[in-house]
Every structure is written in structure tokens, then in C-alpha cells.
Structure 1
Amino acid sequence: MITLNRRALLAGSAALLASSLAGCATTASSARSQGSTPVRRPVPPEVASMYAAVLDDEYPIRASDMSLVPEQFWRQEVPNTTGEPAGSVVVDTTDRFLYHVRDNGMATRYGVGIGAAGFSWSGRAHIAYKRSWPRWTPPSDMIKRHPELEIYRYGMEPGPENPMGPRALYIHQGNKDTLYRIHGNEDEKTIGQAISSGCVRLLPQDIIHLYDNVRSGSPLLVV
């Protein structure tokens, strides 16, 4: 259950804009650097079906290996405990969940990976627009930290190797692009972890499901 700290929320809203140059970048190698042997678990057929390969999209998407993902991060319908109205998207950075609030007192809950310490953010914003198979353009500040990204200064073409994955939701506060995104990433071991430079990541099948159900303009709360 999410407990919303309103004072922290107001402070976080300012922090979101102040740290907006963090940007997004996630790679499989960053997850492997955690160094631990993955724990595998049995996967019920209905869960395997939710995360099956997608072969009729613009690019093929492999099945997600859910034996690598703890059960609490599998997509499921749960009671809406967020206190937010229907249509809202709520990201709980402590428990690593994203909630899409429905109009029946329920919410769809997804497991997510979040930004590592130093790139975390919180506050209120909105989903300005959505993109299918988006380009990825690293911010200038990120290129300074990682000069090898210079070749992508004007964008990386969409596709399976693009770190934005098959779908992305673009987060704005007012008329300002925060440079944060909610997007896909195929590395199962990043779900439930704090690895990337600030963005919220879902498995490809989950970001497609969220993309298909959320509307542009929807309010976003990160706590």
C-alpha cells in the first residue's frame, strides 16, 4: 500500500525539474554488473502467456523470462490504494510498482525498474504524449558523463537495440519536458532494481499494455 507524504511530494515536485537533465539509459550490461546469480522460480501458464513473444509488432519482441522476475512484479489487478482518481498513473519508487488507476476501484499494477540513487525523482507531472518504437536521444549532460554516446547526439533509430524499447510515455510538468520517460526494457533482471539514469522501465509486454490503456494528458504522481 502506498502512503503519500504530501510535504515530501511538494518538495519532490521542485526536485523533478531541478534534476531533469538525468535522462534515460539502461543496458543489459548495467544489470549484469549486479553480479548475483539470478534466482529462478516457477511461472504459471497464464503468466507466461501474458509475457509471450510479440511477433506482429513493428519489430519482433521475444518472450520475457518471468522465472527471473519476482512474483510481486508480475502484472496484476489490485485494489486502488493510491488515493488517486481513475486514469492516473502512480509510480511507487520504494516498492518498485507502477499503478494505472482504473474506474472500478481497481488498478493495474506493474513491476518497474527505477533510477539509481542520485538520479531518483518524485512529484506531480503528466503524460504529455506517447510514442511507439521511439527514437532515443541522450541529453547533453549524459553525453558529457558517457562520451561514447556522442554518436547518438541526434538520436538512435528505433529497434530492438534501442534502450527506449517498443513504447514510451513522455513526462512533462506544465509545458516543460522533464526529459524523463516511462519506457520498455527487455532485461528482466532490472525489474525491481534501481539501475538507470532516472527513467521508469517496464518489461516490453507491460509497457505495450500500459501504452494501449493510458491516455495522453493523464496525471502522473511519483512518490
Structure 2
Amino acid sequence: MMWDNRNAGIGESDASGLRRALLNRRAFLGGTAAGFGALGLAGCSGTDALLLAEARQNYGPMPDEKFAIPAVDISKVDPKYYRRVVQYESKEAPGTIIIDPGKFYVYRIEGDGTATRYGANVGRDGFLWHGDAYVGRKSEWATWTPPKEMIKRQPEAAKYARGMPGGLDNPLGARTLHLYQNGAYTLYTIYASSEPDTIGSGITSGCVGLLSQDMIHLYSRTPVKTKVVVLPA
């Protein structure tokens, strides 16, 4: 392709420990409250704790997938890139996907001035593209075939010239939205990434990657023909 390419919540004991810690000023200030060690929340605010708990739920393991997806190591993801519903004014219709490569975000317009926001990796310098497209095709655990242009740049990709079967090591990951313009495949995709440390960086040859759990969430809510707007970087 041209754009190269945990459900574990806080347990009841952890939650009660956190509540006790918040009520105990001395323990809170000292960072010694029960439950704080397990959660890694010493010195954090209640909002931070809730954000972390939600992230652990959103990015838990998905063992029922065709290829079991492990939990995301959320310590490798800046919290600003966790999936969230945010205020986002747009004239686009609900369901529209807006990619903002300059901020490393993908938005799904929900209407009423809100959007679901996902952290992303995007194209590196020289591979950035912007404009309007639409989802022309969707695929699960797709076969990945590197284009000729990539093989010229990266000869090691030649071994997959006939296609790399779907799986955890496949660059397209668990789900892929293939972008089209005027009936033609652009070779650009929104794909599932299993590398949390890439979120918030420009590393691909134009494609846009979301964490696998985020991509599955977006994929399930995105029909074919959905409009996609890629903003200038």
C-alpha cells in the first residue's frame, strides 16, 4: 500500500482502594494509599484515574478475533491520543471521517457538535496527501500486497509481491478502510496498527493507522461510501 504500512477494567478492590486514597489526604499526598501502586496513579487527580481506567477498558485484549489481539501497552501511548468523544464543530454529516495529520487525530463526526476522536500515526514528510475521498471497500484481516513503488524503495518487501496473508504481523492489521476517489482505489488506507509507540508520529507512506481496538471500533460504525476528508498537514 502507498500509506505503509486491554477488556480489563479496574477491579472492585482497586476502585475501593482508590476511593479510600482520595479520602485520606495524608495517604494521598504521600502516594502510599492502597490501590495506588496497582494503578500507577500516585499523585494523579480523579480525572486522570478515570481516564486511565477507561483506556484500560477500551484497549483490553480481544481474544475472540480470528487472530487474538493482545491488550495495548497504554504506557506507550500519550493519554491525549486515547479514544474520546470531544467537542468538534463541523459542517460535515454525521458519520463522516476527518483525518487531521498535523495533529495526529482521526475524527468520526457524531453530530450535535461532537466527534469520536482517535489518536493516529500518519504519513511522514514527502508522503502527505490531502483532499476528499470515500470508503470504497472494507476488509478484515486483509492480504497485504506492497505496490511496485514500495518494492523499489524497499527491496526487502519483494518477498510479499504475491501478497502477505492476514495476521498480527500483517501491516494492514485486523481491519482496513480502503479509500477511493471517482471510482478508483487511491492505494491509501486507514488501517489497524499493533504498535502503540507509533501513535502520534509520521512514519508511513501516506496511510493512517489507528490502534487495533480503535480501528475495530471505527470500522464497525463505518459503511462503504462514507465520506473521508483529509486535511492539509
What is the TM-score normalised by the length of structure 1?
0.81
For residue 78 of structure 1, the aligned residue among 86, 100, 111 is 86
Equivalent of 2:75 in 67, 83, 90: 67
Could you tell me how far apart the structure 1 residues matched to 2:89 and 2:193 are? 27
- Map of 2:217 onto structure 1: 209
* TM-superposed deviation, 1:150: 1.0
Give the conservation status (yes or no) of the 8 Å contact 1:116–1:195. Answer: yes
Aligned to 2:179: 171
Separation in 2, partners of 1:220, 1:152: 29
Which residue is 1:220 aligned to? 228
Alignment match of 1:194 (pick from 202, 212, 220): 202
Q: Which amino acid aligns with 1:141?
A: E
Residue 3 of structure 2 corresponds to residue 24 of structure 1: yes
Given the superposition, is the C-alpha separation of residues 82 and 70 from structure 1 closer, same or farther in structure 2, using an over 3 Å criterion? farther
Instruction: State how 1:1-223 maps to structure 2 within 5 Å.
Output: 23-26=2-5, 44-223=52-231
- TM superposition shift of 1:146: 1.0
Quick one: distance in 2 between partners of 1:148 and 1:47?
36
Question: Any gaps of 5 or more consecutive residues in structure 2?
Answer: 6-39, 42-50
The alignment partner of 2:220 has SS state of helix
Give secondary structure in 2 for the equivalent of 1:44. Answer: helix
Q: Percent identity?
A: 37
CA distance in 1, matches of 2:59, 2:119: 13
State the structure with more CA Rg: 2
Q: What letter is aligned with 2:134?
A: H
Q: Which has the higher contact order (CA 8 A, sep 6+)?
A: 1
Equivalent-residue separation in structure 1 for 2:91 and 2:85 (angstroms): 16
CA distance in 1, matches of 2:126, 2:104: 16
Q: CA deviation at 1:155?
A: 1.0
Task: Tell me the number of residue pairs that the alignment of Structure 1 and Structure 2 aligns.
Answer: 188
The answer (yes or no) to whether the contact 2:175–2:192 under 8 Å persists in 1 is yes
Q: Distance in 2 between matches of 1:144 and 1:79?
A: 43
Q: Work out the CA distance in 2 between the residues paired with 1:189 and 1:82.
A: 30
The CA deviation string for residues 52-76 of structure 1, in whole angstroms up to 9 with x for no partner, is 0100011000101111111110000
Distance in 2 (CA, whole Å) between partners of 1:126 and 1:25 is 19
Please give the TM-score of this superposition, normalised by the length of structure 2.
0.77
**Aligned equivalents of 1:168, 1:189: Cα separation in 2:** 20
